């Protein structure tokens, strides 16, 4: 009588896909996903994995000069690495504007250059040098949600004006002795709170006739 083959025996074992030699070379190199994204874009490659293989091949074949022509180097703090770090941070466009206003060496810089600079300060902090972040903090530039300049920007973009400042000072005793700038920042904070969906902030603003100027944050 012939041996019976069970269902379990008839199923071929699953093979584990192996990474290419090029991909392994990429993972063991100092190049980053941000580097791979640059290569993908500039070489017109369909996937990020193909870009990683391209970098790995360059490493294995000692052709990293080709990568340098694309602006990709072994340096830890390439421009695109710093920009990517900014994009993953809590910094905002308001922080970018404040940095350009605060530091003369950034006044002629493009928006992306300033974002890269802020990203560089974060990368520096990750390797132990926190002096750059401390310098930013001295000018009110932090990853915090409610920096003073962000509150002021929110006030300016809300449609409110001096009348709302006067009404707030007259209606709320805790604001009576505050300067106009302090009241504007406080009202800007309420706008940011309202954008985050807090009903109490919307109710507060409605008491001084501010019935718009915000929408829910995405």
pLDDT band at 3 (very low <50, low <70, confident <90, very high): low
Cα 113 from Cα 199, distance rounded (Å): 38
Give the DSSP letter of residue 174: G
Q: Which residue has better confidence, 85 or 34? A: 85
Can you give the pLDDT at residue 170? 92
Helix extents (H) in 28-110: 33-43, 48-60, 64-69, 79-87, 93-102
Considering the entire predicted model, what is its pTM?
0.56
- The torsion region of residue 172 among left (phi > 0), alpha (psi -120 to 50) and beta comes to beta
Cα 74 from Cα 68, distance rounded (Å): 9
Tokens (6 digits) for 20: 């290419």
Span 166-173, mean pLDDT?
91
Q: What is the mean pLDDT of the chain?
A: 82
The domains of the chain are located at: 21-69, 79-137, 148-206
């Amino acid at each position: 009588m012939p041996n019976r083959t069970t269902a379990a025996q008839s199923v071929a074992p699953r093979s584990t896909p192996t990474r290419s030699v090029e991909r392994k070379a990429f993972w063991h190199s100092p190049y980053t996903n941000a580097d791979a994204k640059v290569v993908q874009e500039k070489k017109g490659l369909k996937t990020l994995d193909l870009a990683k293989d391209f970098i790995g091949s360059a490493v294995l074949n000692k052709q990293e000069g080709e990568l340098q022509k694309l602006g990709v180097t072994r340096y830890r703090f390439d421009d695109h690495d710093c920009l990517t770090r900014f994009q993953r941070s809590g910094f905002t466009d308001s922080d970018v504007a404040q940095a350009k206003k605060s530091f003369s060496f950034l006044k002629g810089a493009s928006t992306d250059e300033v974002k890269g600079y802020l990203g560089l300060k974060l990368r520096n902090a990750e390797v132990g040098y926190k002096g750059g972040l401390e310098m930013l903090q001295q000018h009110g530039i932090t990853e915090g949600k409610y920096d003073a300049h962000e509150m002021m920007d929110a006030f300016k973009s809300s449609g409110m004006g001096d009348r709302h400042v006067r009404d707030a000072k007259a209606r709320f005793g805790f604001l009576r002795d505050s300067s106009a700038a302090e009241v504007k920042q406080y009202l800007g904070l309420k706008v940011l709170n309202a954008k985050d969906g807090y009903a109490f902030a919307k109710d507060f603003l409605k008491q001084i006739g501010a019935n718009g100027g915000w929408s829910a944050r995405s």
